[in-house]
Amino acid sequence: MAKEAAKKSVSEDAVKATREAGGKRNAAVREGIDRNKAYGVDEAVRLIKARAKAKFDETVEVAMNLGVDPKHADQMVRGVCNLPNGSGRTSRVAVFARGPKAEEAKAAGADVVGAEDLVDIVSKGTINFDRCIATPDMMGLVGRLGKVLGPRGLMPNPRVGTVTMDVASAVKGAKGGSVEFRVEKAGIVHAGVGKASFTEQALVENIKAFVEAVSKAKPAGSKGTYIKKVSLSSTMGPGLKIETGSVVSATPAA
């Protein structure tokens, strides 16, 4: 009853005005965009930045359609990319470590550091971090948290540099300079590679670095065209197709 009363309290004119405003905004940001055209990365970045008019600093995201089937183990694509100009986002980082390595993690800026005590906290469902790092000797304990960290994409993994003895470098990268990527079921990899407030040059450099990292992560089981499509968008803006040749020196061979 309360929901029905709330609906009735909003006039039809108000609903119409809201829809029209949204429609006008969408039309404005899409004006001058050819959805069928593949843009060079420099032009695409200019267009994306010019249309990022939200009241917050929009994230610029790259999406890549890959010629892989991640259901097969030999076609899984996963890795980490150190963005040359940072991601524009500061993550909360947890480190599972003991002794000197725990102190090293704290000195590097880790937000949460612990061993058995941290395992106990996380096992109860308390997760107040965005990235997770562990030293190799801690993985026997951290492995127990697979059902908690795995579904959230937080399980430390040596393939992406989050199981390491060099915790200082891993923490500094995770705090804003690196992004992890993992192919989804449909063969798509995507990640935020900066903010609309970044300079055009900084965004272009980050985009090229990310595409190159995914390119180098080509799995042995991938046949045919590996990078099928690359697109660029901002949080509230339209998506643009990108010329593959403008973001990577050479498409990986079949």
| Separation of alpha carbons 171 and 177, rounded Å | 10
Rounded Cα–Cα distance for residues 74 and 153 (Å): 20
Average pLDDT over residues 169-197: 90
**End-to-end CA, the chain:** 61
pLDDT value of residue 35: 83
One-letter amino acid identity for 68?
V
Higher pLDDT, 254 or 43: 43
Residue spans per domain, the chain: 34-77+183-246, 93-176
Which CATH code for domain 93-176?
3.40.50.790
Alpha-carbon gap, residue 128 to 109, rounded angstroms: 15
Look up the CATH number of domain 34-77+183-246: 3.30.190.20
pLDDT score for 176: 75
Q: What is the pLDDT of residues 112-158, one digit of tens each?
A: 999 999 999 999 999 999 999 999 999 999 999 999 999 988 999 99
Q: Where are the alpha helices (DSSP H) in the chain?
A: 2-9, 12-30, 41-50, 99-108, 116-123, 139-142, 146-149, 167-172, 200-216
| pLDDT given at position 7 | 46
> For 61-68, what is the mean pLDDT?
95
Confidence of residue 223 (pLDDT cuts 50, 70, 90): confident
